[in-house]
């Protein structure tokens, strides 16, 4: 049985769905019992557990843990190693941590936190039978989904990362398959695996793909991300400033190896998304 945390979020639900489709038994951990229409009914055992509390009841009997920490959460650097250590002490033998591409780009606070967690992995499993693995995705193509219909309607794709630098967007379905491989395949212990899409695209490139998909003219426009003064707001603005200065690209080679095929392109991602 595989435990997945933050299972009601976009990443968690995608990982749960993929594991179930591959015949795995899944325990999905959520912070409260409120209804979650995209998770409820998939067929996982949904249990309430707080990542900042005692998780031993939800970890009991698990073969593997997929640790997703909530996005832009200030407790990750200290909380995630604690959960990993609890899991190792509880007898969970395979720990997979959902990190990010280039966590060592520490100007971004959420990257710095994930770098700290990766640093803590060996200590978390020390003296136990547990072994760790890490998945490092770049930005999901799915991050664009929320604005596709509005962009087609208005003719403007809003880009908080500017118009010049590129990203290697990865489809979340491919990330979820890579997660399932790390959770179930032998021979990958102590490995760190990048999950990166196959092309480097600027915002104008994405706008052109959206034009082709919708048959309507779409142009990329430069916008600035809001900093609302919260930790999450600071993570968001420093992230987009980083992307604006450096882009956020990587090699698709490792993900191709995990999937046994090339990762999906952004055009393939858009083909499966409503744009009207």
Ligand X SMILES: NC(=O)c1ccc[n+]([C@@H]2O[C@H](COP(=O)([O-])OP(=O)(O)OC[C@H]3O[C@@H](n4cnc5c(N)ncnc54)[C@H](OP(=O)(O)O)[C@@H]3O)[C@@H](O)[C@H]2O)c1
The residues of the shown chain that bind ligand X, judged by CB under 6 A, are 6, 8-11, 30-32, 50-52, 68-71, 98, 100, 110, 137, 139-140, 143
Least spacing, CB of residue 89 vs ligand X, in Å: 19
Contacts of 37 (CB under 8 A, 6+ apart): none
Nearer to ligand X, 216 or 234 (CB): 234
The first and second tokens of residue 68, run together, are 């997703």
Interatomic CA distance for residues 8 and 71, integer angstroms: 12
Least spacing, CB of residue 73 vs ligand X, in Å: 7
Nearer to ligand X, 166 or 219 (CB): 166
Strands in 2-4's sheet, in edge-to-edge order, are 45-48, 26-30, 2-4, 64-67, 94-98, 131-137, 192-195
* Segment (H or E) for 177: helix 172-184
As a whole number of angstroms, the longest Cα–Cα distance in the chain is 59
Least spacing, CB of residue 6 vs ligand X, in Å: 3
Which residue in 135, 62, 141 sits closest to 103, CA to CA? 135
Neighbours of 156 (CB within 10 A): 17
Which residue in 89, 144, 129, 119 sits closest to 267, CA to CA? 144
Nearer to ligand X, 9 or 81 (CB): 9
Interatomic CA distance for residues 198 and 200, integer angstroms: 7
Nearer to ligand X, 33 or 186 (CB): 33
Least spacing, CB of residue 100 vs ligand X, in Å: 4
Least spacing, CB of residue 69 vs ligand X, in Å: 5
Least spacing, CB of residue 25 vs ligand X, in Å: 20
Residue facing ligand X at closest CB distance? 9
Least spacing, CB of residue 195 vs ligand X, in Å: 8
Contacts of 228 (CB under 8 A, 6+ apart): none
Nearer to ligand X, 67 or 210 (CB): 67
Interatomic CA distance for residues 93 and 186, integer angstroms: 12
Nearer to ligand X, 94 or 110 (CB): 110
Nearer to ligand X, 139 or 258 (CB): 139
Interatomic CA distance for residues 98 and 140, integer angstroms: 13
């Amino acid at each position: 049985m595989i435990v997945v945390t933050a299972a009601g979020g976009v990443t968690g639900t995608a990982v749960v769905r993929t594991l179930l489709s591959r015949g795995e038994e899944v325990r999905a951990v959520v912070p409260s019992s409120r209804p979650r229409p995209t998770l409820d009914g998939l067929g996982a055992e949904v249990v309430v557990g707080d990542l900042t509390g005692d998780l031993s009841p939800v970890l009991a009997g698990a073969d593997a843990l997929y640790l997703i920490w909530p996005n832009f959460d200030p407790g990750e650097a200290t909380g995630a190693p604690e959960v990993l250590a609890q899991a190792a002490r509880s007898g969970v033998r395979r720990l997979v941590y959902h990190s990010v591409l280039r966590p060592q780009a520490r100007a971004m606070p959420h990257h710095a936190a994930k770098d700290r967690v990766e640093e803590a992995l060996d200590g978390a499993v020390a003296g136990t039978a547990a072994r760790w693995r890490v998945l490092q995705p770049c930005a999901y193509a799915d991050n664009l989904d929320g604005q596709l219909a509005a962009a087609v309607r208005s003719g403007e794709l809003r880009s908080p990362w500017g118009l010049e630098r590129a990203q290697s967007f990865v489809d979340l379905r491919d990330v979820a398959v890579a997660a399932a491989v790390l959770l179930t395949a032998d021979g990958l212990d102590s490995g760190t695996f990048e999950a990166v899409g196959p092309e480097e695209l600027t915002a104008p490139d994405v706008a052109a793909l959206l034009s082709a998909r919708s048959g309507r003219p779409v142009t990329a426009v430069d916008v600035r991300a809001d900093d609302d003064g919260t930790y999450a707001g600071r993570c968001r603005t420093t992230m987009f400033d980083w992307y604006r200065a450096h882009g956020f690209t990587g090699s698709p080679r490792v993900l191709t190896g995990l999937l046994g095929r090339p990762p999906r392109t952004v055009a393939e991602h858009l083909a499966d998304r409503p744009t009207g």
